Amino acid sequence: MNLMFDRIGSLFFALVGALFIAESRNISSSAYGSQVGPNIFPFGLGVILILLSLRLLWETYKKGVAASSSESQSPLRYKRFLFILAATVLYVLVLEQLGYVISSFAFLLYAFTMMGSKNILKSGIVSLLFSVGVYVIYVHLLKGTLPGLPAWLGV
Amino acid sequence: MSALQFLADGFLVALQWHNLVFAFIGVLIGTAVGVLPGIGPMSGVALLMPVTASLTSGLPPESAAASALILLAGVYYGAMYGGSTTSILLNTPGESSSVVTTLDGYQMAKQGRAGAALSIAAIGSFVAGLVALIALVFLADPLSDLALKFGPAEYFSLMLLGLCAVSGLGGKSMTKALIMTVTGLLLATIGMDTVSGVARFTYDIPDLYQGLEFLTIAVGLFALGEVFKTIIEDDQSTKEIIKVGRVLPSKQDLKESAGPITRGSLLGFFIGVLPGAGATLASFFSYIFEKKLSKDPSRFGKGAIAGVAAPESANNAASGGAMIPLLTLGIPGSGTTAILMGALLMYNVQPGPLLFSDHPQIAWGLIASMFIGNVMLLILNMPLVKVFAKIIETPSHFLIPLIIAISVFGVYAVQISTFDLILLVICGVAGYFLTKNDFPLAPLVLGLVLGPMIENNMRRALTTSNGDFSIFFTKPLSAAFLVCALLWLLIPLFLKRRGKQVIISEEA
């Protein structure tokens, strides 16, 4: 698993390096009569990144089987992670549409329950206090900007 | 004016009532961050950076920067303080620089001396903080005078040295650390080029023209990354917390720990000044040093008070020492100081030699507030240690979603864009998987902060030499920095080849 990640990772970083090299060729190569343009730094870094990735790839093959699979003892909870990640993505996407208070409240209540909070009343109170509290303090006291309640609610 | 005169002015800034409040909030949150196992100093500072930005938005720019820095630095050294509490009471270090403290601290707690261990850690941290600050006051002026003589070539090489140092010590694999450094530098090139005004790698996406926001990436990688780690790997086992008992240490304890505290502070300070080393290494070294020095080394690991006093002093002194290269040279030597530097840049304040002449209010105000913050910490920690021990019991099912919500709020409040929120989540996922596979994050953040400065200095140097790269080797100071940078990378490799264990700094 670990070696696999390193191999894929090294290929990925090499690709990133190649991309930066290729794209830096489209940037003008001089500025104000100086011979040193905005292209040289990303170009050079791209080359270094590719070299380093190749070295990492070589290292993973050198280690080969010798590296033992030291997986952690406790079961990894990817399912819980995916649910919370999905909730976070959704939260971020609807934040501007639903407004700060509603989306934060919904996200927190869901995430609290997902993380194993038994008492739904307590979770509800904490979520409500946080979302309304942050909104009132930030927008009304500190005059900051957060999306308010959606217009179609008519409040 | 002498340094002391400046320091007095700094105290005037730090003693303004709102700055006292900021310092207090900073150390309070910092201690909580240090106590909570989920978040370390780096994610704590990153998480609070946007929040402070919105808190200080009503102030004039210069004093806003000073207040924000006072709060964030408070979080930084407050976390160093708080980290010891969990090490001693739970045998779980709150952050990596307190790992060594568990060895003797937990043993002391089991023998019913938890209170003594906690208070010695607090006193040691206090003394160390003072030592680091006094040194900072006297070193700040000469160092920034020296740095003013640097040209672009010297600066380029010096920054390269900083990056190499952090990469050389930054993780289990140096190759991976270097990859992260270069990736950080590359990400920094995205956006409008500051010298020529050419848009690079933007693909006509408007959000990319101003570049990837440092704040978003830092919060994502550190705060969200650690949250995701807790979600995936948390085994939900509840450990028993040992009762604190009597807080004040006995005279015997104080006598035994006076030496270790002094030595730990000095050693920690000098390690902290070195780029790349940082608090974790400092605590390891001082522990080993005390064990070697002790008349009866067998007592270590069985509840020797010196084994708590020395590393706790060392890690605090190191965090003070790490401020020196940041403030005087403008070069952060660790992940946390890189984030502090990002915060300064957010306020348009360029750390470095000119900081002391251009913004004395910020530089000396910060230094003075660290004096005050240390006093506050001592006052907070001695009587309130039992209260802080309670924070550990905060149920993680409330804590974790709240950290996510605070990250989202913070980034949105500063950036007001959904693009940055999506970037935040992506960085969080990347942060978790990269750390899990030993790709260290600190070098990436450092590269991201230093990227524009390195590039500008390189191009300025090359412009004066008409594109001739030998300018970096012919200037003696620059050449010396480059040699040091190379040695920093080669020596660990060499030691590893000879089969020696190289202590690496996970916090860096």
pLDDT of residue A68: 45
pLDDT digits (tens, 9 = 90+) for B357-413: 788 888 888 888 888 888 888 887 777 777 777 777 777 788 889 889 988 988 888
- B227 confidence band (pLDDT: 50, 70, 90): confident
Most confidently modeled range among B204-208, B223-227, B390-394: B223-227
**Of B112-126, B144-158, B161-175, minimum mean pLDDT range:** B161-175
In order of A38, B402, B442, B449, the CA distances from B435 in angstroms are 32, 22, 10, 19
DSSP sequence for B225-270: HHHHHHHHH---PPPPPPP----SPPHHHHHHHHHHHHHHHHHHHH
> Among B409, B439, B459, whose Cβ lies nearest the Cβ of A36?
B459
Parent domain of B376: 3-153+216-428
Percent of chain A residues past pLDDT 90, beyond the cut = 37
* CB distance B119 to B248 below 8 Å: yes
What are the phi and psi torsion angles at A67 (to 5°)? -70, 120
Closest residue on chain B to A71 (Cα) = B436
pLDDT of residue A35: 66
> Three-state SS string across B397-411, please?
HHHHHHHHHHHHHHH
pLDDT digits (tens, 9 = 90+) for A69-127: 444 445 677 888 999 999 999 999 999 889 999 999 999 999 998 888 888 898 999 99
In the numeric block, which tokens belong to residue B462?
């090359």
Considering its fold, how many domains does chain B have in total?
Answer: 1
Of B87, B501, B117, B167, which Cα lies nearest the Cα of B333? B167
Of B193, B154, B152, B219, which Cα lies nearest the Cα of B445? B219
pLDDT over 60 (residue B331): yes
Task: Round the average pLDDT of chain B to a whole number and report it.
Answer: 83
Is residue B421, in this structure, part of any structural domain at all? yes
pLDDT over 80 (residue A37): no
pLDDT of residue A88: 95
Is residue B76, in this structure, part of any structural domain at all? yes
Of B311, B219, B323, which Cα lies nearest the Cα of B268? B311
Is residue B487, in this structure, part of any structural domain at all? no
Is residue B368, in this structure, part of any structural domain at all? yes
Q: Write down the ipTM of this complex.
A: 0.89
pLDDT of residue B63: 84
Q: Give chain A positions within 8 Å (CB) of B185.
A: 41, 45
Question: Per-residue pLDDT averaged across B81-102, rounded?
Answer: 77
Question: Per-residue pLDDT averaged across B297-301, rounded?
Answer: 81
Of B231, B362, B501, which Cα lies nearest the Cα of A88? B231
pLDDT over 90 (residue B215): no
pLDDT of residue B506: 47
pLDDT over 80 (residue B507): no
The residue of B54, B180, B229, B231 whose CB has the most chain A CBs within 10 angstroms, and thus the best one to mutate to test that interface, is B231
- B438 confidence band (pLDDT: 50, 70, 90): confident
pLDDT over 90 (residue B47): no
Question: Per-residue pLDDT averaged across A45-52, rounded?
Answer: 92
Is residue B175, in this structure, part of any structural domain at all? no
* CB distance B300 to B291 below 8 Å: yes
* CB distance B62 to B13 below 8 Å: no
pLDDT digits (tens, 9 = 90+) for B9-32: 888 888 888 888 888 989 888 888
> Among B397, B422, B459, whose Cβ lies nearest the Cβ of A112?
B397
Is residue B202, in this structure, part of any structural domain at all? no
Is residue B85, in this structure, part of any structural domain at all? yes
Put simply, the answer to whether A104 touches B409 (Cβ < 8 Å) is yes
Is residue B361, in this structure, part of any structural domain at all? yes
pLDDT of residue B502: 55
pLDDT of residue B1: 52
Percent of chain B residues past pLDDT 70, beyond the cut = 93
Give the number of other Cβ atoms within 10 Å of residue B53's Cβ.
19
> Among A23, A32, A81, whose Cβ lies nearest the Cβ of B201?
A23
